[in-house]
Amino acid sequence: MKIRNLSLVLCSFFVLLVSGCADTSREIERVNQQRAQPIIEALDKYMQDRGVAPPKLGVLVPEYLPKLPMSLENAEFEYSTVVDIYTLCFGERTWNGKSYGCCYLRRFEEWDCTRGVE
């Protein structure tokens, strides 16, 4: 009986732990999206002024941003562009052969936080 109760307690703890991690992950995504918002606004203003996206984020400083915001993990946001289409990402990691992270897709004007893409 004690072993069964212990198993039940351990399973319950595991479920709570996993669900708590998911909430924490979503909160980190939300904070990073907020931190990226000034970059997105500066990119859009730059494109409005010049007709193309900048070749790199550093070009935005100091005219469009006083400095580049960092992600919650104290990492630079990753940026790629082709003419007037850009992608701004954070949290890009590979684990177990799968890619995890969030990217703002300018073409769709929305965030894509994909988990487990191979």
pLDDT at 17: 42
In the block, tokens 């073409």 appear at 107
Number of alpha carbons in the 13 Å side-chain half-sphere of residue 65: 21
Evaluate whether 53 touches 46 at the Cβ level (below 8 Å).
yes
Higher pLDDT, 17 or 111: 111
pLDDT value at residue 42: 98
Residue 57 reports pLDDT greater than 60? yes
Rounded mean pLDDT, 79-84: 87
Mean pLDDT of 45-69: 96
Q: pTM for the whole thing?
A: 0.73
Percent of the chain with pLDDT over 90: 53
Surface-to-core class of residue 23, CB atoms within 10 Å of its CB (0-12 exposed, 13-18 middle, 19+ buried): exposed
pLDDT higher than 50, residue 80: yes
